[in-house]
Structure 1
Amino acid sequence: MAEPNDSLANVKEQSRSGFVAFFAESFREMRRVKWPKRHDVILYTGAALVVCAILGVMIWGFDIGVAKVFSLVGVD
């Protein structure tokens, strides 16, 4: 028979509850997280900034276009 996951079994056996248990379990989960490498973080940040810049230019262009249409119609 397969053994249960040791960390899950320990959590179920512990009788802590409330504030202390929340932080104890949070720190335990943070140790299990697979954090990205520095190079990956730099790439993802760069990609996010490029996408934000492109969307910003698109929204700016749309705003200018709508302003031109309104000025042609006579709405100021």
Structure 2
Amino acid sequence: MEKTEPTVVEKLSDAKKPERTGRSMNRVVSFFRESVWELKRVRWPGRTEVINYTAAALITCIIMGGLVWAFDIGVAKLMSLIGLV
């Protein structure tokens, strides 16, 4: 039988998590140790992913801003035609 690569869940469950202690200063130190431990597990995006996601967010904001602007202009024109403004 071939040995298979462990799944992500198995890898995460096998990882050693820092132990918590009871004293207040030890709890602060433990918090920072756990924070560093969690950050080591994060999959950080590459440069191209960041550029693509940023471009997508900017384009979405521009499109949504344009839609809101067009709706605002349309409502203003409609109100001026009705005579409310």
TM-score range, shorter chain: 0.7 to 0.9
Q: CA deviation at 1:21?
A: 1.7
Tell me how far 1:74 sits from its aligned partner: 1.1
Q: Deviations over 1:46-69 (max 9, x none)?
A: 011001000010000000000001
Q: Secondary structure at the match of 1:15?
A: coil
Q: How far has the Cα of 1:7 moved from its partner?
A: 1.3
Tell me: higher relative CO, structure 1 or 2? Use CA pairs within 8 A at least 6 residues apart: 2
For residue 63 of structure 1, what is the aligned residue in structure 2?
72
Q: Secondary structure at the match of 1:75?
A: coil
Match of 1:15 in 2: 21
Matched, 1:31 2:45: no
Instruction: Output the aligned Cα RMSD.
Output: 1.7
Unaligned runs of 5+ in 2: 1-12
Give 1:15 shift.
2.2
Structure 2 counterpart of 1:43 = 52
Q: Size of the alignment, in residue pairs?
A: 70
What amino acid does structure 2 have at the position aligned with 1:7?
Answer: K
**Structure number with higher helix proportion:** 1
